[in-house]
Amino acid sequence: MVLLILSAMPLGIAAQSLSLNTISTIAKSDPLIITGAVGTQNTYRYTSSGTGYASPLSNSVYANLNISVYGISMPFALYFTNDGLDWNYPHLGFRLTPAYRNWRGHFGQSTMNFSSYVMNTSFNGVGLEYNSDKIRMGAFYGTLHKAINDDPLDQFARQPQYKRVGWGFKAGYGNGRNYLDLYVLRAYDRPNSLNEIWRQYISPQENVVLGLKGALAPARWLSFSGNAAASLFSTDTKAPKLDSLAAAFANRFSSSVMPIRYSSMARFAGDANINLMFPGITSSITYRIVQPDYTSLGTYYMSNNYHSLGVNLNTTLFRKISLAGTFSGQEDNLTDQQMFTTRGFVYSANLSTRIGNHFNLAAGYNGFTQVQGDGTAVINDTTKVHRRTASYTFTPSYLTENDILSHTVSLSLNRTENKDLNKFAIGESDVTTTALGANYAMGVKPWNTDFAITVSSQESKGYKTKYISRIGTFSTGHTFFEENPLNISGSISLIYNEVKWQSKSLNMGGDVSISYTIKNYHVFSSSASFYKYGDVNPSKTHSSLDRTDITVSLNYAYTFSLFAIKNKEDRKLAKQKWLEKAAKISEGFSE
């Protein structure tokens, strides 16, 4: 069977998803379907604090039109806002992916699975893959990203970038537990794809990456896996070639792929894993290293100049208690060229269990320690960075329900400590935060109504300061009717904030929202909120809730099918359903 994938991708406000169609599906698709939606969104805002942060009135009217020809979607959109008229026309992208047995081709905007150190972006071009139970092969050529070449004199010009082209191939053998894969990527910028003015400030780049990825499982309880890549990267393709004897010898073999220049650098990145699996226990050990300035032009930004070692363990006790623990350490400054070396340690322990049919319990500890050491300079003990962050969480919850009511009660307790461990520190940057929350929710099933009460309290203590926050909220929602649902929800809340010895403020108010849907075509919705707030510190000039925020929103949306040419099978089916419905109506009259 041959699989075809066609897509129309607009560069408009919303991206459109790709459509996947086999030839048979295309043949069965409707020749022409025109659908769309129109609507309006209108929001009024008032605040006694002024209109600097938001427009007092915003209105928009939109119309979306989608033309589908044999399953290929071509959307259009028209928007009118306070600021003017914006017409978004589609940019049609093409993707064709024919497949026959183990073979698959790529034409247009597509992706292929490569090593994460080699390539994780899409390409716009051509490619071919072969995948069987044990043998894997693939190759591609295309554009990795288009040029951004706005007018240099335009004050709103986007960040320029060269058109980047690349080709690559991969080959592998093995199954999921024992395999070896090879990856190669060649990527380079087109110098003439940018305006000459931009080229004075931005240099074109080029890159060759070789990657290896594999796994070995000598036993069911033991497996090894690894992923590594070596990159030859030039920061400026205008730089001259190296003229040393060794470089000249190397260029004799590499100049056809990528010449070695004065701007070239070779870097390495990789990771290795050991996985242990026993009944009820799984664990792994991971080591990762990314050399300074490691770059692949086929990947997004990647952190570099560090290595790390991590261990994790997961187990289950008595088939009810789940335990998980992790520990990892990371260090930068691999070449000892930084002024200081930073080491970080991350560790955690988490527990979760279910007691009976209604009670759940979760608890956890997460910590992070950062230590600064010598680099090219000797660390100064008085300014040395040595910090620790520890977080403790405890979350019990209880759930019960019957045919009429459902009840949920949950508590949450969190304590976070951020402490400066420098022996000369006096605690100016230390912060300890304690947060406690409680929630009760009740659902009344015969009424289609929900109620919820939430309260929370947070206190943060720092050096000669203390911040307090108290929040209480009551909310409810109700659904009317079934065929044309009417949903009404609302909430009221009270918020108190205090900075010790500085300020006290109170915010109180509520909001309500209503939506009504008619036959899945018309949706009317509106919302309104009203809040009063102000400084309630008696020692200040303002000692009352003298500030007001009001927001009102009215919206409407209508979706429609404007025109349709159905295929023969659909027309036959529609006609049959119409005849069956007419026969039932006729029987009703005869009775």
Buried-state track 302-311, b at ≥16 Cβ within 10 A, e below 16: eebbbebebe
Name the β-bridge partners of 203: none
Nearest one of 183, 178, 283 to 224, comparing CA atoms: 178
What CA–CA distance (Å, rounded) separates 323 from 491? 38
Nearest by Cα to 160 from 152, 149, 171: 149
Distance of CA 551 to the CA centre of its chain: 30
What token pair was written down for 157? 């010009």
Query: How far apart, in whole angstroms, are the C-alpha atoms of residue 43 and residue 554?
Result: 7
Q: DSSP letter for 248, please.
A: H
| Amino acid, res. 169 | F
- Supply the Cα-derived Rg of the chain in whole angstroms: 32
- How deeply is 502 buried, as exposed, middle or buried, from its count of CB atoms within 10 A (0-12, 13-18, 19+)? exposed
Distance CA 552, CA 58 (A): 11
| Token duo for residue 88 | 């978004």
Q: Which residues, at least 6 apart from 111, have a Cβ–Cβ distance to it below 8 Å? A: 121, 122, 123
Closest to 475 in 3D by CA, of 507, 447, 443? 443
Taking the C-alpha atoms of residue 42 and residue 59, their distance in angstroms, rounded to an integer, is 4
Please give the structure tokens belonging to residue 183.
């990856």
Taking Cα atoms as reference points, which of 237, 225, 335 lies closest to residue 285?
225
Yes or no: say if 231 and 253 are a contact pair by the CB < 8 Å rule. Answer: no
Distances (CA, A) of 75 to 65, 91, 96: 6, 10, 19
Closest to 419 measured CA to CA, from 369, 464, 381, 372 = 369
pTM over 0.85: no
Task: List the end-to-end C-alpha distance of the chain, in Å, as a whole number.
Answer: 53
Task: List Cβ neighbours of 314 (8 Å cut-off, separation of 6 or more).
Answer: 281, 282, 283, 322, 323, 324, 325
Residues 6+ apart with CB under 8 A from 400: 358, 406, 407
**What is the spatial distance between Cα 24 and Cα 33, in angstroms, rounded to a whole number?**
18
The one-digit pLDDT tens for each residue of the chain (591 residues) are: 333 333 333 333 333 333 334 444 445 556 677 788 899 999 988 888 765 555 688 888 888 777 776 655 566 667 777 643 344 333 445 677 778 888 888 888 889 999 999 999 999 999 999 999 999 999 999 999 999 888 888 887 888 999 999 999 999 999 989 999 999 999 999 999 998 889 888 999 999 999 999 999 999 999 999 999 999 999 999 998 877 655 665 666 566 678 888 899 999 999 999 999 998 899 999 999 999 999 999 998 889 999 999 999 999 988 889 999 999 999 999 999 999 999 999 999 999 999 988 999 999 999 999 999 999 999 988 889 999 999 999 999 999 999 999 999 999 999 999 999 998 888 889 999 999 999 999 999 999 999 999 999 999 999 889 999 999 999 999 999 877 799 999 999 999 999 988 888 999 999 999 999 988 789 999 999 999 988 877 665 455 777 899 999 999 999 887 766 655 555 566 556 655 655 555 554 444
